[in-house]
Amino acid sequence: QKWNDTLPMFPLGTFACNILGCALSGSIGSLLAGNPGPEESIVLVSMISGFAGSLSTLATFLVEVLNRIDPILFQLDGAQYALITVFWGMVVGLVTNQATNWADEL
């Protein structure tokens, strides 16, 4: 709540949590690509769906997007926030997912 009040038209706290969740999902997902054993797979999938999934707050994200859209006044701050979040989420997820490939090449 403290970070969300910093910029009234952009919920910085929710944005930071969602991007951190994408980073965790991407980095842990890259570990799954290395064909771990069955026990390790269960732990890694549980970490992605449990910790990173609960950290990235989809319900709060949707509420904040819809609260920032007003079709009568043509305020589309929610759409702008949604596009920025989805773009940076994809970028961070891709970078953290490919980090192990880049580290192996060094």
Give backbone dihedrals phi and psi of 34, rounded to 5 degrees, phi first. -85, 15
Model confidence, pTM = 0.74
pLDDT tens for 1-16 read: 677 777 878 888 888 8
Q: What is the pLDDT of residue 86?
A: 92
Q: What is the pLDDT of residue 88?
A: 93
pLDDT tops 70 at residue 106: no
Provide the pLDDT confidence category of residue 87 given band limits of 50, 70 and 90.
Answer: very high
> What is the C-alpha to C-alpha distance for residues 91 and 94, in angstroms, rounded to an integer?
5
pLDDT tens for 35-68 read: 778 887 788 888 777 777 777 778 888 888 888 8
